[in-house]
Amino acid sequence: MTSGHKVQVGVLGAHGRMGTEVSRAVDGADDMELAAAIDVGDDRDALRGCDVAVDFTTPGAVMDNIEWCIGSGLNVVVGTTGFDTQRLDQVRTWLTGNEKSGVLIAPNFGIAAVLMMRFAEIAAPHFDSAEIIELHHPNKIDAPSGTARRTAELIARARAGKASPDATTQQLEGARGADVDGVHVHAVRLAGLVAHQEVLFGGHGETLTLRHDSLSRESFMPGVLLGIRWVMEHRGLTIGIDEALGL
């Protein structure tokens, strides 16, 4: 990036709740310029000439958007959820041999949320039990959340196959939540909430609860701007903003 050049940013999903906040944050950043703001179904040609496209659309639209952006030589920052191993591998395939594009896909752009996930990973091997409760607004279309899924994956990896004790033999379907790599995840959808998560650990005579609360969508914007700056300088696929934070 040349001195004095403002990063030209295009926002996909610009009319949504997160897209609106991203557009406002980019517009207020001294080193960026909002060059395009489009929504699902709009002509993506408006993104040509941008340095970075930021995607906050839907799980059904995001993969096609990423493929198009990579094919057009754009960098991409993705906050849309719904990414599993298969989808991440597909993005890596699209990036093979591409020296123009960097893609950053983050389960959560909240800096405190990223720290919560890191703390959970550190604590995970030291307790007998680990479970996750995630709580979001009722308009969220995926469950569990991308943050909860990623947290569970990190916990499972840190525990190296260690299972939580559970004598349940009779249950209503779904009562024990989703099983993500052996970690139970419970999803709550409730009016009035934004994005919240608790990670519960239990051991001999003690428990540890890690909780993160996003009280407004503005809380994610410092991480989004950090991701835009990061992807300008890093090719290939980056998962999360951990590395950008120096974690």
Give 76-131 pLDDT, tens digit per residue.
999 998 898 999 999 999 999 998 999 999 999 999 999 999 999 999 999 999 99
Residue 3: its pLDDT value, please?
58
* Catalytic site residue from 6, 137, 140, 234: 140
pLDDT above 90 covers what percent of the chain?
A: 91
Task: Write down the mean pLDDT value for the chain.
Answer: 95
CA dihedral 31, 33, 38, 40 (to 10 degrees): -10
In words, the CATH class of domain 7-105+218-239 is alpha beta
CATH of domain 111-215: 3.30.360.10
113: exposed, middle or buried (Cβ count in 10 Å: 0-12, 13-18, 19+): buried
d(CA 10, CA 25): 12
Q: Is 140 known to be catalytic? A: yes
Residue 40: its pLDDT value, please?
83
User: For 25-42, what is each residue's pLDDT tens digit?
Assistant: 999 999 999 999 999 889
Number of H helices, E strands in the chain: 6, 11
Q: Which amino acid is at 179?
A: D
d(CA 181, CA 184): 8
d(CA 4, CA 236): 25
pLDDT above 70 covers what percent of the chain?
A: 99
> Lowest mean pLDDT: which of 2-6, 26-30, 121-125, 160-164?
2-6
Sequence ranges of the domains in the chain: 7-105+218-239, 111-215
pTM of the predicted model as reported, rounded to 2 decimal places: 0.84
Confidence of residue 222 (pLDDT cuts 50, 70, 90): very high
Residue 146 or residue 225, greater confidence:
225
Residue 122: its pLDDT value, please?
98
* Catalytic site residue from 136, 184, 186, 212: 136
